[in-house]
Chain A
């Protein structure tokens, strides 16, 4: 079919099943937006390109589908960078389409020209500069294939402005032809037999799962393996929800602000089964002393992650969708009664954890962050998606919100991007309109993309924005309190801002909670009301996130109070 390049882009997106894009128009994408207008292609106009890319990210995390964002050249593309890097660190599939200046203007420092491929190379799985309209269908087909297969990640497509106007005989390719890339991630089955033997011969195994279990949709396999083994288990921040919080032996998440029980179990186990995680410095503590008593097994799709941060004893390289069912079947075929064998160790690990559970002290009338988040958790079921920004509130949300299912807890784990929360929550709600979406944010983080309140108002996107308002950049303040002699340098926010007025000015209802009793009298009604709302909750300024593994310390050297 004869059409122009802009139509070809949109037709290609349709072929990939894209039902919604997040984007912001500008000079070189005017032609593309003209076709979006004519085709009535669903586009959410955000307040900022960074909002658009985080929204696409939230959409992708909530569904597993590829999120799509569109921006113009130059500043539009540059504004995507933080969002692309955020998605890249957390292995979230995105396709980012940017306009580039026209072919004849490339390389001339033209108006609104930046080298998008140059900028995005370190933060994407792959990128393209499309200079010829005939490449449009192939490039888009490849981009989606690369983004959603293997280890998922963002792909950027930069399209020269004149390509949108050029004519093409549109044919969407059936086949991918990439010599250096395949979506077949099948490893060596013998490597799994070795793990089964290791499990049969160990005394104190621990299952440690990560975000890879969510992106490969293998949490059911993990749960069945846990049923069979009956051993203790833990997760990374990114893996929250794969294991049910009420499961016997589940110790909560591990790492810098993870649970005492999980961190102690890592140090005490003799076989650590790491599944779909990458030994980030936030979960290892001091690398040399990580899991010192354990043989380490790594189930991982990305060969470059194996032995990158932690040297492992066994590796199973391949898609978890391939390896975990095989592992499960082989365990089931074993004659050993694992659950009986590991039961004492499981009880020991659980009892150890009970010494220092996640907790907070109630003090008079004030609202403690732990109380706030526990209350909200009680008011929500597994049809709620909790989204966070970054900082203290993020860790409290991870500790006190009971995440029951995969894709129920969306957070910027790897990059730790303040400002991620509000747009990501918006994307998640648009992706899953039948679910309740609650954002936990802070008075620091919310300011980083607060313009998106206008977007959720304009599009009637029902997100409940809970600002854990402590009048300080809390995590910075905590480090300053603990390690910098209480020098609150550039972290205090005793300012005149009024989040209710900001919310109302943008078209969103605003509420303020300041007393503990209001968690009972006011919060449930607001949370269950229809439509977006900002809930500004005052909490004490000097509350620490506890426990904490200070930088450079072992996992069992936690600060506990």
Chain B
């Protein structure tokens, strides 16, 4: 299985996310993550989808089927062009007094941040590519993880040309 990151520009209208996510599920495509947010244009939402496919042909099917949706303005496969991908994770970890110093050093090594501390736990925030996020989750599994929230990957192409002009 190969992973690809698609940037999908859609009309910022009610129901768009349903149309996109419904299509992906009914066509039985595998998605690793999906995230959406506002863009530099108020009328446009950007949906970032990481799909996992068996072949280029299956990827073409995903792109062609998404392209049929009326609200979809543009689809670019950012895995095919030079691009930067990032994901944000927040991890709540049990932090006893004894474990706290260890946790702080893990956080330092990953250049993560502790964004909340209570007497029982800390919340660690980290931004990075997927492997880095996976790695910190792996390391922290030695401690007691209470919960994890991940955004899924978002990406921008390098250089001056935005996705909408590609």
Contact = CB atoms under 8 A, between A and B. Distances in A.
Contact of A180 (B18, B26, B60, B73): B73
B69 interface: yes
A117 B16 CA distance: 11
B71 A180 contact: yes
A147 to B, nearest CB: 11
Q: Determine the interface band of chain A, counting residues with CB < 8 A from chain B.
A: 20 to 34
Nearest to B22: A121
A483 interface: no
Interface stretch (B7-15, B79-87, B110-118): B7-15
B64 A125 contact: no
Contacts of A121: 15, 18-19, 22
Interface residues of B, number: 21
Contacts of A302: 68
Interface string B64-80: 11011111111000000
Nearest to A307: B57
A129 B26 contact: no
Contact of B65 (A180, A304, A311): A304
A286 interface: no
B73 A179 contact: yes
Interface string A82-123: 000000000000000000000000000000000001100110
B61 interface: yes
A304 B26 CA distance: 14
Contacts of A117: 15, 18
Interface in B37-74: 57, 60-61, 64-65, 67-74
Nearest to B68: A304
Contacts of B68: 125, 302, 304
A192 interface: no
Contacts of B61: 304, 307-308
Given A127-B15, A180-B72, A311-B57, A122 B26 contact: yes
Interface string A169-200: 00000000011110000000000000000000
A338 B65 CA distance: 37
Nearest to A118: B18
Given A121-B19, A121-B22, A122-B26, A181 B60 contact: no
A303 interface: yes
Interface of B: 10-11, 14-15, 18-19, 22, 26, 57, 60-61, 64-65, 67-74
24 contacts: A118-B18, A121-B15, A121-B18, A121-B19, A122-B22, A125-B68, A126-B70, A126-B71, A129-B15, A146-B70, A178-B70, A180-B10, A180-B69, A180-B71, A180-B72, A180-B74, A181-B70, A303-B67, A304-B61, A304-B65, A304-B67, A304-B68, A307-B57, A311-B57
